């Protein structure tokens, strides 16, 4: 009984520290936990329930209330966990545990992931490496293109016809060691304030952000056309984008359309980057904030050579025009 009383006190205090849903009135009656692992950018993140019958329930219930919440890591791949508590009266509260901030709790949450989630050993190893701090930074992509192209796609050498937001910009670029050419790209601006607010941030992923279409459905390539991709491999996802009305490109020149780039975490997930009118690229990983830096915190001048974490394979370029439909 004594331990239960202590747990109840800690739970109330912990909820007061991190809750946006209740104000110090959460009652520890019939509490169930929902654990969300933030690890994917395009596909839905795994989530599972923890109730009193679970072998790790007591440990999770205790540890989740130790200390304040910690921010999610700003990187591709494993970013941390979100734990949501719901009591018998329907009151809800949640807490974030960012990558490599609470290794004891993170390790237990990882152990609680059921096999029914179908996560591969590769993903589990990736998450564990993130928990213990074994990530390598600045891993160069495997694409042979990166060995050919030594110059960034977009130099900040921009001219415009006017200052109208709808105008297109001219960006000088070097393609495959050939002479400089001019490419017209969509005039999307990096405006994270339009994306980094709830519920927009939680309900729109990298596909929504790259196409600049907020559907609040966590859009998936091919779903709007009625034929979603079948496997998390580059060719499948790319073809699904074409069915959604995007334009396939052999080079980073989208004409009057918006230019985006597709990369994949082989066999696991996909991610998109978007070229903005300042000549740099930006992106949004899953439910996290939109940003204009890579996993090393550097500005993105070429997605082929940026630090992309586990998204090692560069797939190709796509144009986003008026025919694009995502859902």
- Concatenating the DSSP letter of every residue in 43-84 gives SPPPEEEE-TTSTTHHHHHHHTTSS---PPPSSSS--EEEEE
Band of the pLDDT at 27, cuts 50, 70, 90? low
pLDDT in tens, 162-204: 443 333 333 333 333 333 334 444 668 999 999 999 899 999 9
Count of all residues that appear for the chain in the document: 327
Distance of CA 224 to the CA centre of its chain: 20
pLDDT, residue 183, reads 43
pTM of the model as a whole:
0.79
State both tokens at 85. Answer: 């508590």
* Cα 37 from Cα 32, distance rounded (Å): 17
User: Given strand 181-185, what is the order of strands in its sheet?
Assistant: 158-160, 169-173, 181-185
On the question of pLDDT at 137 being above 60, the answer is no
Percentage of residues in the chain having pLDDT higher than 90:
63
Q: Which residues contact 224 (CB under 8 A, 6 or more apart)?
A: 244, 245, 325, 326, 327
Q: For residue 286, what pLDDT is reported?
A: 94
Q: What is the pLDDT of residue 232?
A: 83
- Asked whether residue 160 carries a pLDDT value surpassing 70, the answer given is no
**Chain centroid, CA 51 distance in Å:** 28
Confidence of residue 65 (pLDDT cuts 50, 70, 90): confident
The upper half-sphere exposure of residue 166, i.e. CA atoms within 13 Å in the direction of its Cβ, equals 0
């Amino acid at each position: 009984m004594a331990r239960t009383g202590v747990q109840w006190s800690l739970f109330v205090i912990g909820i007061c520290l991190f809750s946006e849903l209740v104000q110090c009135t959460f009652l520890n009656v019939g509490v169930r936990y929902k654990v969300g692992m933030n690890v994917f950018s395009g596909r839905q993140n795994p989530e599972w329930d923890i109730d009193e019958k679970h072998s790790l329930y007591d440990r999770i219930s205790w540890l989740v209330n130790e200390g304040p919440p910690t921010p999610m890591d700003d990187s591709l791949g494993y970013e941390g966990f979100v734990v949501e508590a719901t009591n018998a009266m329907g009151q809800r509260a949640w807490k974030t545990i960012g990558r490599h901030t609470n290794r004891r709790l993170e390790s237990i949450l990882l152990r609680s992931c059921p096999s029914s989630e179908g996560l591969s050993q590769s993903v589990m190893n990736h998450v564990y490496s993130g928990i213990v701090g074994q990530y390598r930074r600045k891993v160069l992509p495997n694409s042979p293109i990166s060995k050919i192209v030594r110059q960034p796609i977009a130099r900040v050498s921009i001219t415009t016809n006017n200052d109208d937001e709808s105008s297109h910009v001219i960006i000088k670029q070097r393609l495959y060691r050939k002479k400089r050419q001019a490419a017209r790209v969509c005039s999307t601006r990096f405006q994270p304030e339009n994306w980094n607010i709830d519920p927009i941030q939680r309900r729109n992923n990298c596909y929504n952000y790259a196409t600049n279409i907020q559907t609040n459905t966590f859009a998936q390539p091919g779903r709007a056309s009625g034929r979603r991709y079948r496997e998390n491999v580059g060719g499948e996802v790319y073809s699904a984008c074409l069915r959604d009305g995007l334009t396939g490109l052999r080079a980073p020149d989208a004409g009057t359309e918006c230019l985006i780039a597709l990369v994949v975490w082989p066999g696991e997930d996909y991610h998109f980057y978007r070229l903005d009118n300042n000549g740099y690229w930006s992106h949004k990983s899953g439910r996290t904030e939109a940003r204009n830096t890579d996993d090393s915190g550097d500005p993105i001048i070429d997605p082929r050579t940026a630090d992309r974490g586990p998204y090692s394979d560069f797939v190709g370029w796509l144009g986003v025009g008026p025919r694009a439909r995502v859902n």
